[in-house]
Structure 1
Amino acid sequence: MANNILHLLFFFTLIFSCCLKKTLVYGAVEAAYHVLDMKSLVPASTCSVSTKGFHGMQIVHRYGPCSPLGRENSPPDSRQILIKDQARVRSMNSLTSNSKYAIHGEGIVTADSFPPQALTLFGRDIGAGNYVVKAGFGTPKRDFNLIFDTGSDLTWLRCGSNGYQPSESSTSINAKCNSGPTCPFNVNYGDNSSASGYFIRDYLTLKLSDMYSDVFSNFYFGCGLQISPGFGSADGLLGVGQSGNLSIISQTNQMYAKVFCYCLPGSHSSAGFLLFGIEAQRTCKTKTTTPLSRNPNSPAYYYVNLIGITIGDQRLDISSKAIMDSGTVITRLPSPVYSALRSEFMKFMSKYPRAKQQQDQLLDTCYDLEGYGNVTLPNMVLQFPKLQVNLDPSAVIWKERESDSQVCLAFARNDDVPDKLTIIGNHQQRTLKLLYDIGNNKVGFGIGGCAN
């Protein structure tokens, strides 16, 4: 009898310990925090990227030491970046449609020009947080430094003496239009910046590795003649949005089957990559994916269903369609969700001194870590259907200035739109391998950095 009781006690102990272990794993208690060296948040002054053996098109931060734009004089401070970031979010909140251009047969037919409240994409006034890629155009090929943007479906270049010159390319052809011998384009952005010109058809060259490139002989893009000053020294824009047959996704569909992958670097002094097709699948292959959708009111954007955020050992349930956007810096959450996240973050950070709140500051939960060599941060996981994504520790916080020790929770509330739009920004995407399979309406998230 005593032996039977002991056996029963042993059995129930096993059940209890097993269930407890499952609870700990689900709640992420065993990995509820990270210890981050404060020195790792200070950007390096030199580029640490080696191009040898690198696959794909390199993505670098526009104002980092790896930038081909020469850092455009001096980069804006973090407060300026966040002000510009908020302007982009406002324009996204008011966006109704992106492109009204389409390819028909042998030419391009335009409907109306872009709407006046289109995307605020880049420039010293808005896009300090954006990323740059290099692509080749024309014959002989010339490389141009383009802003990488998943929220736009039109690629355009600066034309003229300091940019792309159709007369110097033996394969350049003016795109036909039903309204005349040339086909004009006009893009207006939310900060009143603009670009206009006409459409060109020419060769596009995308780098796969040191040895190989893919060439597309009939690629349509805008030749920009009137460019407002706010665009800085970037040569144009590489639109990687999913709508319209003028997007790079549609124009390369026969070779790449609407599949691409990118990884944004974890620091300003390193590089990420952009890949298409089979190479994208091979490099960014993930075991699990989550559904990808689109909104007819903003068809270029990539939407996913964000169902929760785990911070430390606490899961916050959400039901929100979220835009994956490479051009927004800080992730925006509906106000109730942000308030809950902020509350949990403050509990976790209670041992650190709070920083003084500045008026009209976007990030409202900041700490003064003067004298702290390391900081213990909560682990953060984004929850999607069938998929959990661990954020890089540096993606949880935002360092206010290079010269001081103030850090803030790198999330913000989005109060500018009635339908509680959620935007997953590029600061939270850093070091993730994002694999988009548009034809099958799914996206995968790979962790572990941008080494490929």
Structure 2
Amino acid sequence: MKRKLMIWLPLMVLFSIVEAHQHVEEMLHHHNSDSFSLELIHRHAPQFTNDRLKTRHERLEDLLRHDTIRHGITSQRLQTRRRAGEAVSHPASIEMPLASARDYGEGQYVTTLKVGTPSQKFRLIVDTGSDLTWVRCRYGCSRRAGDCTRKGRINGKRVFHAPLSSSFSPIPCASEMCGVVSLFSLTTCPTPLTPCAYAYSYISGPEATGVFANETVTVGLTNGRRSRLRNVVIGCTNSSKGSTFDNVDGVMGLSNTKYSFTTFAAQKFGAKFSYCLVDHLSHLNATNYITFGTSRNRVKVSGKARYTRLELDAISSFYAVNIMGISIGGKMLEIPMKVWDTTQGGGTILDSGTSLTFLADPAYQAVMEVLTKSVSKYQRVKLDGIPIDYCFNSTTGFDETSVLKLIIHFDNGAQFEPHWNSYIIAAADGVRCLGFSPAGFPAVSTIGNIMQQNYLWEFDLEGKKLGFAPSACNNS
């Protein structure tokens, strides 16, 4: 059987479901609750790693090790479509939904999700650039042979035993859904009822193979109850390779595509989701929430919410925004508009899985020129393993109040004012760096999760609107 070549990308966001103490009927009733929340826990939290606690230098090196690969593939994929003469279409169309299914990878935040009937609990990487939600799984085990124990493990890792779930329903390879996901499904179909199989192969090594199924997942509602969500597309992965999966059981896909968990949640709870990312250097046990649905996210905001257009059709599977320019210290930088224009090879996405902010070269050069001058009086430092152009010694009189204010201007006048330590980032003890990377050109620019920190972000998929407000990401 032929495997499709896929690319490994990091993405990121990782969560833990808010547990409740009461049961509700299996199907959601909107008068009970119109939303549910997942608790966000940073990937470096001690409960998700067996390693020793890492230094700031090591944590940043770990985050950035994946960034360059991820962003390069994002830009390459868009350029390849253009060279082939392919029009950018709505991500829910037949051709486009699976374009981003290649970027499963090590994420920034983790969640716990209950899968199956009766439910089995699994720890998942949450990836805003991946289509499919999958868990490490055993599908062909035999009850008679005694190898389908509910709490059994494979090679010491937790496994979803599909035959023990009464709601597990394999998707036939002759189905329309299997045809839609052909970019990462196996090309053979022995019989119409044979389960639709997938085989991911990643250039960097990790793999995931298995079968698709419709399954029930259990979520915690914001009213303190629980609900069972039926017919969620789940990947039953019977083989996964790669160190990224050592401490997790699978991936939760949250991209803007037809079969992602985001799309399914939008159909059930309302086409909105929101999250608030704590500082990546905050206490390891700090948590916050992502909320799916129309209810207000529980975090407090410290300023007025601002809104801009969310471009869901511009860059397939990603959450794109229109930028008009960047100002530093009250002065607009000279950046050609083609940098922000998707029709000329540019454009900008908001990505919770990329750590640094990547800027197309003309924008990167303009931003770095001004910021470098503003910190040039401090001794320049070179950090091994950190692919950032400019770092400096912050122990010799560094004054944060002298940092020039950077503002990203959206097309409708909305202004995003990131906190100074979101672009003058702490890279090691006594060392600060300018938190930007060059993306080349033409290339897609990316507002990474460090730049997004300490803001509440609300994605209105139906209204195609992005809202944002400053927040400490504390629960109200």
TM-score class, shorter-chain normalisation, is: 0.7 to 0.9
The answer for the alignment partner of 2:292 in structure 1 is: 276
CA distance in 2, matches of 1:243, 1:144: 23
Say whether 1:196 aligns with 2:209: yes
The answer for the alignment partner of 2:119 in structure 1 is: 141
Say whether 1:70 aligns with 2:49: yes
Q: Contact 1:187–1:195 at 8 Å: present in 2 too?
A: yes
Corresponding residue pairs, total: 379
Structure 1 residue runs without a partner (length 5+) = 1-48, 105-109
Structure 2 residue runs without a partner (length 5+) = 1-15, 21-35, 82-90, 139-152, 175-188, 341-346
Q: Compute the RMSD of aligned alpha carbons.
A: 3.3
Q: Contact 1:61–1:268 at 8 Å: present in 2 too?
A: no
Check 1:357–1:227 CA distance in 2 against 1; reply closer, same or farther (3 A cut).
Answer: closer
Normalising by structure 2, we get a TM-score of 0.71
Say whether 1:393 aligns with 2:410: no
Deviations 1:164-218 (A, max 9, x none): 2213323222223314321112334452422110012221122234822332122
Q: Which has the larger radius of gyration?
A: 1
Q: Contact 1:400–1:408 at 8 Å: present in 2 too?
A: yes
Say whether 1:288 aligns with 2:316: no
Greater Cα offset, 234-243 or 68-77: 68-77
Q: CA deviation at 1:342?
A: 1.1
The answer for the alignment partner of 1:131 in structure 2 is: 109
CA distance in 2, matches of 1:283, 1:446: 11
CA distance in 2, matches of 1:206, 1:398: 35
CA distance in 1, matches of 2:112, 2:430: 34
Greater Cα offset, 84-93 or 71-80: 71-80
Deviations 1:253-304 (A, max 9, x none): 33223211111112352112110111257869975321111357x5211110
CA distance in 2, matches of 1:342, 1:77: 23
CA distance in 2, matches of 1:420, 1:398: 24
Give % identity.
Answer: 26
Q: CA deviation at 1:409?
A: 0.5
Check 1:312–1:111 CA distance in 2 against 1; reply closer, same or farther (3 A cut).
Answer: closer
Q: CA deviation at 1:58?
A: 0.9
Check 1:52–1:367 CA distance in 2 against 1; reply closer, same or farther (3 A cut).
Answer: farther
The answer for the alignment partner of 1:40 in structure 2 is: none
Pick one of 103, 122, 130 that aligns with 1:152: 130
- Find runs of 4+ consecutive structure 1 residues off by over 6 angstroms: 110-115, 281-286
The answer for the alignment partner of 1:421 in structure 2 is: 444
Greater Cα offset, 419-428 or 367-376: 367-376
Q: Counterpart of 2:368 in structure 1: which amino acid? A: R
Q: CA deviation at 1:324?
A: 1.0
Q: Contact 1:175–1:201 at 8 Å: present in 2 too?
A: yes
Normalising by structure 1, we get a TM-score of 0.74
Say whether 1:445 aligns with 2:468: yes
CA distance in 1, matches of 2:50, 2:451: 23
Say whether 1:339 aligns with 2:355: no
Q: Contact 2:276–2:289 at 8 Å: present in 1 too?
A: yes
CA distance in 2, matches of 1:210, 1:371: 51
CA distance in 2, matches of 1:328, 1:249: 18
Q: Counterpart of 1:290 in structure 2: which amino acid? A: T
Q: Counterpart of 2:164 in structure 1: which amino acid? A: E
Say whether 1:59 aligns with 2:40: yes
